[in-house]
Each structure stands twice: as structure tokens, then as C-alpha cells.
Structure 1
Amino acid sequence: MKITLRQLEVFAAVARLENVSRAAAQLNMSQSAASTALLELERHFACPLFDRVGKSLRLNGSGRGLLPQAEDMLARAHEIEGFLAGGRLAPVAVGATLTIGNYLATLVVVDYLQKNPGSRVDLAVCNTQQVVDRLRRFELDVGLIEGEASDSDLIFEPWIDDELVVFCAPSHALAKAGEAAPAVLAEQKWIVREPGSGTRALFDRAIRSVGVDADVCLQLEHTEAIKRAVESGLGVGCLSRLSLREALRRGSLVEIKTPALALRRRFQFVRQRRRHLSTATRMFIDECRRLTGDAADTSQLTLPFIP
């Protein structure tokens, strides 16, 4: 064979990072060794794979065609290594959006690793758009997302339903009312997630559908920060019921019923269509489904205490 796995590994790393130095550091090799491996691959077939732009290397048409095939072969090589090492599973790179990452994915990771000693899971928690972007770049094996997305290169599979809840501090005027019509919602100061998150996208669509232009006074990337800001009386928020269940139980936050708003959604699994579905990835997805079981939505889940 005229191609080595090391050459493909270097090529894939450079494709992701667009820089030989960073790729070499990630692969624990010298920059000169990484450069040599890449140049040998290109020269052997007289086929440049990158456009050189300053110090950056960006995939050209040939490189974009090779990347999914290289990623597929590397994933299969990891599985072979695991088999030869006594059945150890290949590492799983998981991207989870914030609500799922903080309240479900970590529980899945614990169970998965306890059942498969010696395995490894790399869990990245970010918003829906960032997870989708990383899947497009072949950086993840699977994404667990709460927002809507579409891409012909990705496979979307339903997981479990969820619901957003509008909430306030117990001292807020709406706490006693318990319910708010669109006209009342339009008068509120809102504390919400950042653009790009699935929670924000659903909130924006739901609030606009009833003719309300929400007065967003603060947008934050973390659910806990939003909960603290709302508890302080700064305004009202809108987050997943899953992330609010303990605060609502304690009474530190109060749900505001909003029958006019359509705030239900579905958590999804997302995979790169051209990336090999490894045994480890399939087992991780199966563990996700086992955790949620027969629950119709996240409100029915019985989970360990989450503050």
C-alpha cells in the first residue's frame, strides 16, 4: 500500500486545524515530521490537497473529497486497535448542547464508562450551531442537540421530547398571577440564551408567533447564570423544564404558564452521513436511549439530583 495511516492521520488533523504546527502538537509529533508526511502524500500522487494561504492550509476540492474517506478509515483503524488490544472500544467524540450536556449527557457518560472500563469519551458542551459545525468538519462521532438543524451531509434521529418553561423569581409580580398572556409577556424584561442555541431559536420563534417583540435585556451562554439572574429579580427567563426541575421544586423559581406559546421541542441524535458508525458510537447512542427509557418527554424522567 502506498498510503500510510499516519499520513492520513496528519492530513485529517491539518484539515481540521488548518495549520501544520497545531496538527503536529495534537498528534504529539514534530512539525517537520507532520509536514513531511503531508508532502509525501501529496507528491506521491501529484495531487495537492490544500490551498496554502499564508500560514493556513485550507482544503481544496481534492482534499474535501478525501477527508470523509480518510476519517472513515481512521475510525475503522481505531476499532481494529481496540479489538487487538482485547476488545477495548474506540474513543467516542460527543458534542452536546448545553441543556443535554449538563443534565443528561454526563449521566450517560458515567454509565457508559462504568460498563466499558478502559474506554474513553470526549464530551464537548456547546450550542446547537457549534455542534453541527463540528460534525460537518468530522470532529465529532455524534451530536446530541436540542435545536432544529438541517443538512444533507448529516443524519438526524429523534430521541426524546422536551419543553421550555417561562419562569420568574417568587418576588416577581407574575409569580402570583401564575399565567401570562402575550400582551403581558411583551411588557417583561427577558434574560435568555445566546443566538445559535436551540433554546434561543425556539424562544424567538414562539414569542414572535404571538406578535411579541421580546425586550431582551441580557443574553447568557449558561443556564445556571440565567437562573441566578432571574432569581435576583432582573427579569423573566425561558429554559428547559429539565434544567429548572430542582429550582421549581425548591420554590427558588416559579413557573409562569404561557398557553399561547408553542414551546415543545425534540432532542435529537446527529451524525455525519459520511463518517463510519463505530461500535462504540452505536453503544453510546444505545446508552442514551436506555437512560430515557419509555419516558414520553423529559418531565417524566427519573434522574439523580441535579442542583
Structure 2
Amino acid sequence: MARAAGYALVTKGMVMRFTLRQLEIFLAIAEQENISRAAMALHMSQSAASAALQQLEQNYGISLFERIGKSLKLSAAGRTLRPKAEGLIAHAAELHQGFLGQDQAGDLNIGASLTIGNYLAVDYLTRYKSQYPQAKTQYNVASTPEIVDQLLRFNIDVGLVEAEIHHPDIDVLPWREDRMLVFCSKHHPLAKQKALTDGDLLAANWILREPSSGARQTFDRAMSGLKSKLNIYLELNHNEAIKRAVETGMGIGCLSEIALEYPLRRGDLVALDIDNRDMRRHFYFLLHKSRHPSSAVSRWIDLCQHK
């Protein structure tokens, strides 16, 4: 998008004492927490970036940052204004595309938890890129707590997670249902058993995801009444490591059916039936409440919901 001219905006008689370029510089410094790195990212001199920030702060008589050590941290005012500035820049970019007569969704930064990111969301990303080939997209796969942290820091536009999140600054939108499966190696003694009893569950060595994961959250809820008595033999933070450990006969596991599709089809792993245990769960979209969804985010969510 072309740089905004260095004059104040006037809307309904109100003089806006900022430019879009000043907002871009403010947001870059907020992300980098350093004026020099922000200037480099924006291809401008450090002195020009520093002057633009100083002018913006002087225009409104506020401090947007506090210096802590060698870093610049957002002040209370900066934290409040950051999502509003990001929303304005995003809408300005969409307006720019509209003036050009281009139907582009805009840039998109997605964060996905491990199961969704490794086994599901890439298909949607492929479709998104085919529909909007000019859009710049970033795709980050991490644990659910990391995705939440990135969203709160405004490092991603939308999160896709498999855990129930409760945070005052996050909107949680249900996406689709998923099901967890208990499974073992094809050579495990339980592989030929039609259904597992509570006694079988208590006698087994369990290889599970870490306690903060969405998969573990569902497992713990499903095992109500038995949870404290189960033998948690290993806790691993990657699905592939769990599948490999189970395949070697080390114990039995519990993961999303999405993560188990191919090894179950090959016969390397065997799904086990358990009585009276609800293993259903939901996947969710996460949005920051202070950030109005851009056209890119809205189109991404619509694509994911209607495939």
C-alpha cells in the first residue's frame, strides 16, 4: 500500500493528528520492541522512525512506550491503542485494494495448535492460497498455550485450537467436532479385545500429551473418576512421538482420530473401544476481542466452516 501523506486527517470537523505511516511505525516498534529493528523492517532510518514516534506522542500528549532495559514495552495507553491502530491499518489496506479494483483478502497470520496445524489446517491453507494467490500468509504451529500467548501479543490474527479457552480478552468461536481415540500397537495384548473395562484402563501404561494440551484436557475429562488412579507412564508434547512410543508396545495412548487416520488405515495401530467414556470435543477459532476481524480473517473462517 502506498505510504500515507504526512498531513492530518479531517473527519466530520475533527482533526486527526496522525498519519497512517506514523501508525505503521508505532505498530512496528510495538512488535519489535526496538526502534532500530522496527526501522529496518520498514526500510527507513532509525532517526526517521524515532522522530515519527516522537511526533505522534507529542501530538496527543501521551507516552506509547516505556523503556525497560534495552527494550521498549507498550505503556497502558499503547496497549489500549495497538489493536485499534492495527484495525485501522488493515481496513486502509482493504480500501486501497478496493480503489485498485482488486478482490484480495489481504495478508493473514494464522496460529494453529499441534493436531490442527499438523493434520488439518494445511488443506484449508492450500485452498486459501489458491483463491487469494497474492495474499501473504504466515502459518505457525505450536502448542495451545503458545497460540493463546501469540494472539494476546497480536503476533497472529486468528488462532485454531483444540482446547477450551477462557480469557477475558479472547473471543472463542466453535468450529467443528472432533473425537479422541484410545489406541495401542497391533501387537499389544489389548489389540484383540472388543472393549476395555475400567480395570483395563487402570492396568494400562498410558502415554499421553502434556497436561496443558487440548488432547489431554479432553482425556482427563473423559476419565473422570479414574484420572487420579491411572498409570501415566509418559507425557510427550508431540503426537508423532506418542504414536511411535505406542507402536513399540510401550503402552497405550489417546489422540485425535485425525492424527491417527493413516497408521490405523495401515494397521500399525489399533483403535480400542472403551465403555461409557465421552471422547468427543470441539475445535475452536480464537480472536482477540480488541481487534476487529479483517476481511482476510473473515474469509479464512468462512472457508474453514464450509469446506
TM-score norm. by structure 2 comes to 0.86
Residues 207 and 251 in structure 2, CA contact (< 8 A), matched pair in contact too: yes
| Aligned mate of 2:59, from 25, 44, 62 | 44
Give the Cα separation in 1 of the matches to 2:179 and 2:246.
Answer: 19
For residues 83 and 143 of structure 1, what CA distance do their matches in structure 2 show? Answer: 27
For residue 212 of structure 1, report the CA deviation from its aligned partner. Answer: 3.8
Does structure 1 residue 6 correspond to structure 2 residue 21? yes
How large is the Cα RMSD of the aligned pairs?
Answer: 2.1
Q: 1:71 and 2:71 equivalent?
A: no
> Where does residue 61 of structure 1 map in the other structure?
76
Q: 1:265 to 1:82 in 2, by over 3 A?
A: same
TM-score by length of 1: 0.86
Per the alignment, residue 274 of structure 2 pairs with 258
The match for 2:208 is 192
Could you give the per-residue CA deviations for residues 117-141 of structure 1, whole angstroms, max 9, x where no partner exists?
A: 3123211111222222222222222
| Equivalent position of 1:302 in the other structure | none
**Does the 8 Å CA contact 1:10/1:34 hold for their aligned counterparts?**
yes
Give distance in 2, aligned partners of 1:204 and 1:287: 32
Question: Contact 2:25 / 2:52 at 8 angstroms: preserved in 1?
Answer: yes
What is the Cα deviation at residue 209 of structure 1? 3.8
1:154 matched to 2:184? The reply is: no
Superposition map of 1:229-248 within 5 A? 229-248=245-264
Q: Which runs of 5+ in 2 are unaligned?
A: 1-7, 9-16
CA distance in 1, matches of 2:109, 2:103: 19
Q: Distance in 1 between matches of 2:52 and 2:229?
A: 55
**Which residue pairs with 1:224 in the alignment?**
240
Query: Helix, strand or coil: the match of 1:234?
Result: coil
Compute the displacement of 1:34 (Å): 3.2
**Structure 1 letter corresponding to 2:52:** A
Structure 2 Cα separation of the partners of residues 235 and 33 of structure 1: 61
Q: Distance in 2 between matches of 1:52 and 1:126?
A: 30
Aligned-pair CA distance for 1:170:
0.9
8 Å CA contact 2:65–2:73 kept in 1: the answer is yes
Amino acid corresponding to residue 124 of structure 1 in structure 2: N
Report the count of equivalent residues.
Answer: 291
1:300 equivalent in structure 2: none
Correspondence for 2:297 among 277, 281, 287: 281
In the alignment, structure 1 residue 180 sits paired with structure 2 residue 164: no
Q: Residue 138 of structure 2 corresponds to which residue in structure 1?
A: 122
- Listed as ranges, the gaps of 5+ residues in structure 1 are 292-307
SS at match of 1:186: helix
| Counterpart contact for 2:18–2:56, Cα < 8 Å | yes
Worse-matched range after superposition: 163-172 or 201-210: 201-210
Q: Which residue of 1 aligns with 2:184?
A: 168
Residue in 1 aligned with 2:11? none
Structure-2 separation of matches of 1:179 and 1:190: 17
* Mean Cα deviation higher: 134-143 or 208-217: 208-217
Paired with 2:44 and 2:212, the residues of 1 have a C-alpha distance of 35
Percent identical pairs in the alignment equals: 44
Instruction: Return closer, same or farther for 1:195/1:29 CA change in 2, 3 Å cut-off.
Output: farther
Q: Quote the offset at 1:28 in angstroms.
A: 4.2
Letter in 1 for 2:199: A
Who is 1:299 aligned against?
none
| TM-aligned CA deviation for residue 96 of structure 1 | 1.2
Cα distance, 1:29 vs. partner? 4.0
SS, match of residue 225 in structure 1: helix
